[in-house]
Structure 1
Amino acid sequence: MIFEVTYQVRVSDFTEGLKWYKVLLNKDPDFMPHEGFAEWEIIPGCWLQVSEGTTTEGSGPIRFGVLSIENEKSRMSKKLNVESFEIFSREEVPVRWATFNDPWGNRIGFFEYINKHEESNRVKTILENRLEI
């Protein structure tokens, strides 16, 4: 049984990487067990690790579900100087999505449910399932 997941990105400058990911995720790390390593629990049981090291070319993307991809695009531009990125959609796909690179080449992105009722149901399901053991 799988009950948690971690995803790791590497940055060549940990101090700058820590600052960048704090802004991206709107919070301080949840866990910093040693120098050059930080973890954020994105949602219960889902962790993003930022580690000092050599970036793996073409890694990712990891995309985060957001309520407004337009708001996040604007925030990334203003707060992290992320160059404008394109938001994609396809008729048969229930979300809009976008991908961009962090300063170390890791592919990061967002997705937003098009149908807000579906989005609400998904959030409700996630919250309910985290309480089941």
Structure 2
Amino acid sequence: MLFEMTIQIRVTNFTAGQQWYQTLLNKQPDYVPHEGFAEWELIPGCWLQVAEGQPAEGSGPIRLGVMDIETERDRLMKQLQIERFEIHTREEVPVKWSTFTDPWGNRIGFFQYLNPIEANERMQTISRK
């Protein structure tokens, strides 16, 4: 039975990487067990690890669910100097999504449910677990 997961992203400059991800996630790491490694619990049981090392080429993107994708894009453009990135939709897909890269080439993105009722139901389901 699966009950948790971790996703690891590697950065060549750990100090800059930790700061960048703190800004992206709007919070300090939840766990820093040793030098060159930090973890954030994104939702219960789902951890993002940032580790010093060579980024994996061609991996990702890791997409994070947000309530307002445009607001998050604007925040990242201002706070992290990310270039404006496109937000995509398709008629048959119930979310809009985007992809951008961190300074080390890791592909990251956001997604937002188009139906706010569905988004609230997902949030309630996650918070009960």
TM range (shorter): over 0.9
Structure 1 residue 59: Cα displacement? 1.5
Structure 1 residue aligned with 2:97: 97
RMSD: 0.5
CA distance in 1, matches of 2:100, 2:112: 15
CA distance in 1, matches of 2:84, 2:106: 16
Structure 1 residue aligned with 2:88: 88
Structure 2 residue aligned with 1:52: 52
Residues 22-76 of structure 1: CA deviation (Å, up to 9, x unaligned)? 0000000000000000000000000000000001112111111000000000001
CA distance in 2, matches of 1:81, 1:108: 15
Secondary structure, counterpart of 2:88 in structure 1: coil
Structure 2 residue aligned with 1:127: 127
Structure 1: stretches of 5+ with no match in the other structure: none
Structure 1 residue aligned with 2:75: 75
CA contact (8 A) 2:89 2:95 kept: yes
CA distance in 1, matches of 2:121, 2:9: 30
Percent of residue pairs identical: 63
CA contact (8 A) 2:44 2:126 kept: no
TM-score (norm 2): 0.98
Query: Which amino acid is 1:8 matched to?
Result: Q
> What number of residue pairs does the alignment pair up?
129
Structure 2: stretches of 5+ with no match in the other structure: none
Structure 1 residue 91: Cα displacement? 0.7
Structure with bigger strand share is 2
